[in-house]
Amino acid sequence: MFSLSNILKINAISSGLTGLQLVIFSNFAAGLFAVDTQVPFRITGIFLIVFALFVIHQAYQKPIRPKQVAHIIWIDRLWVLASVLSVPLLYNTISVTGLVLIVAIAAWVALMAYAQNYKLIRL
């Protein structure tokens, strides 16, 4: 089984890589979502990079600080909630591919939140 530190590292890596992709390939992302603007993708990418830096920093703390991990879990939960709310709001505005990506990423983030919470409770 994975340790809390390793789960945080996985979260940081996946968030950071997604953030970098959104910043570097914002035009491609806009095309996948069938929208004209790249700005939301760049802003989201920058947020994810900053979040990833915070998460990786927490993953290397000895001992891990439960309060900081709880903040990470709540940010992940808010991401999932925002994603769930955005799907019906954006249904007629973005592509089906975009909707599927939102749901898939939300599922991944929910898994990260669950795994982190599970390990945090057992600390």
Each residue's pLDDT, cut to its tens digit, for the chain (123 residues) gives 799 999 999 999 999 999 999 999 999 999 999 999 999 999 999 999 999 999 999 999 999 999 999 999 999 999 999 999 999 999 999 999 999 999 999 999 999 999 999 999 998
Number of folded domains that form the chain = 1
pLDDT (0 to 100) of residue 123: 85
Structural domain span for residue 81: 4-121
Token pair belonging to 59: 């993953």
C-alpha span between 34 and 11 (Å, rounded): 28
**pTM, entire model:** 0.94
